[in-house]
């Protein structure tokens, strides 16, 4: 996951609608079922999907009242904490 991408997607959601990102995730998930995809291609799609889910999670925290910067930092701390465990 990359914080600049999550931040950009969070801004996109604020300016547009979360539904665009959700539908994109569904489309990318459907693409992962193409049997001819290489591992590298699946990795890229997986990274995109995880960044989009991250942006949705950050947006949820912002809607609950957490300031944007704090929501981004808390999310990344949680991700890094789960990696270290």
Predicted pLDDT at 24: 97
The whole-chain average pLDDT of the chain stands at 93
At 4, the pLDDT band (50, 70, 90 cuts) reads very high
Locate the domains of the chain by residue range: 3-84
Chain center to CA of 10:
9
Q: 3-12 burial, b for 16+ CB within 10 Å, e for fewer?
A: eebbbebbeb
Its pTM stands at 0.89
């Amino acid at each position: 996951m990359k914080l600049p991408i999550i931040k950009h997607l969070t801004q996109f959601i604020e300016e547009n609608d979360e539904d665009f990102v959700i539908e994109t995730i569904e489309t990318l998930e459907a693409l992962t079922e193409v049997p001819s995809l290489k591992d590298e291609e699946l990795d890229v799609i997986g990274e995109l999907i995880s960044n989009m889910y991250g942006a949705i999670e950050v947006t949820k925290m912002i809607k609950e009242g957490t300031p944007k910067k704090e929501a981004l930092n808390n999310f990344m701390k949680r991700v890094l904490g789960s990696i270290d465990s």
